[in-house]
Amino acid sequence: MKPVNLKRLAEELNLSIATVSRALQDSYEVSAATKERVRALATALHYEPNAYASSLRRNQSKTIGVVIPKVTNHFFALAINGIEEAARQRGYHVLIYLTHDDYAREVAIIQHLKGGRVDGILMSVASGTEDTAHIRSLRDANIPLVFFDRVRSEIATAQVTTNDYESSYQATEHLLAAGCRHIAHLLISNNLSIGRNRLQGYRDALHAHGLPPDPDLILAGTMNNEQNVGRLQDLMQHRPDIDGIFASVERLAVSAYHVCRQLGRRIPEDVKVVGFSNLESVSLFDPPLTTITQPAHDIGREAARILLQAVEKKRAISPSQSVVLNSELVQRRSTATA
């Protein structure tokens, strides 16, 4: 079967390729009658333009790349939803790349994307990333970038984040108000700004209420989940005075539940727990988990919106376009007072 491309259409209609191309783009240079003829045949033959030829010629791919640590984190799944929604509305495609929080993978992915495969990149940085030269190099390649959630502020571009500091402050105060005095903080990673912001909110809230900081109560998570559980177990056993846990990321909140169960610590009677999470089913937990819930869908949509605007207007992205959205503290039984 002969391929159906512009040449084929042109031959069958006795027109030039140029006219057919213009007709399909609804160019004013083509008469209405010709446009009609072309469109009729195009749909009849199920013509679909070759995306690669078009991309090559126009030097734009109508595709954005999304680089995230993992897709099994519900936050990122929701964010992708928002991204895909915004992208589809403008006729853009979405390429997904997973770093698995691994620095080397992130570098390889970014390098690859510099081949012009995408018009822009949305990125949430891997927790294993320390050096950011690979990200900076995107600027030379002229590929616009917008960070979301896990950002690196030393890169001058827009970022879409949540009010991590404030919500951590608020969550910590919530634990304090519930009577907690020895609150452990489970940190996602030292490399990530969201981790640092959340830690700072926790610290400042303690300080504001006259509680001294206790470095032993701060546990930095790793990529290895079993290791996290083990360390948390050690901590809880050595420090029976712990009466509150603030997990700065969903996975660690779940680990906290498991550890409390194993050690026979009752939630919320013995220990109150609050954690960042986007899982809808936390309300079914035993007991329902008090969460800080980020507007994940909106974050994705907003980040995509900023990126696509820049891509289409061919305008550079400045840090001033950054957006901060508010998370919500949802109180459930895991922090209830007797």
Partner DNA sequence: TTTATTTACGTAAACGTTTACACTCAGCTG
Partner DNA sequence: CAGCTGAGTGTAAACGTTTACGTAAATAAA
Which residues from 7-66 bind DNA, rule CB under 7 A?
7, 14-19, 21-22, 24-25, 28-34, 47, 49-50, 53-54, 56-59
Amino acid identity of residue 172, one-letter, is T
d(CA 338, CA 330): 18
- CB-nearer residue toward DNA: 34 or 331: 34
CB of 261: closest distance to a copy of itself in angstroms?
Answer: 8
Residues 6+ apart with CB under 8 A from 156: 318, 319
Among 18, 40, 44, 96, contact with a copy of itself (rule: CB under 8 A): 96
275: phi then psi, degrees, rounded to nearest 5: -155, 155
Query: Any contact of residue 307 with a copy of itself (CB under 8 A)?
Result: no
Tokens encoding 90: 């403008």
Q: Which stretch binds a copy of itself (CB under 8 A): 56-64, 174-182, 228-236, 309-317?
A: 56-64
Encoding tokens for residue 196?
A: 């640092």
Evaluate whether 329 touches 276 at the Cβ level (below 8 Å): no
61 binds a copy of itself (CB under 8 A): yes
Q: Which of 116, 139, 321, 329 binds a copy of itself (CB under 8 A)?
A: 116
Site string for a copy of itself, 63-82 (x = CB under 8 A): x------xxx-x--xx-xx-
Contact partner at residue 19 from DNA, a copy of itself, none, CB < 5 to 8 Å by partner kind: DNA
Closest CA to 246 of 208, 281, 204: 204
Give the residue from 160, 104, 98, 139 showing the smallest Cα distance to 300: 160
Sort 228 into a burial class: Cβ within 10 Å, 0-12 / 13-18 / 19+.
buried
User: Closest Cα partner for 3 from 37, 46, 40, 41?
Assistant: 46
Q: Which residues bind a copy of itself (CB under 8 A)?
A: 1, 46, 48-53, 55-56, 61, 63, 70-72, 74, 77-78, 80-81, 84, 93-98, 111-112, 114-117, 137, 140-141, 254, 257-258, 279-288
Residues that bind DNA (CB under 7 A): 3, 5-7, 14-19, 21-22, 24-25, 28-34, 47, 49-50, 53-54, 56-59
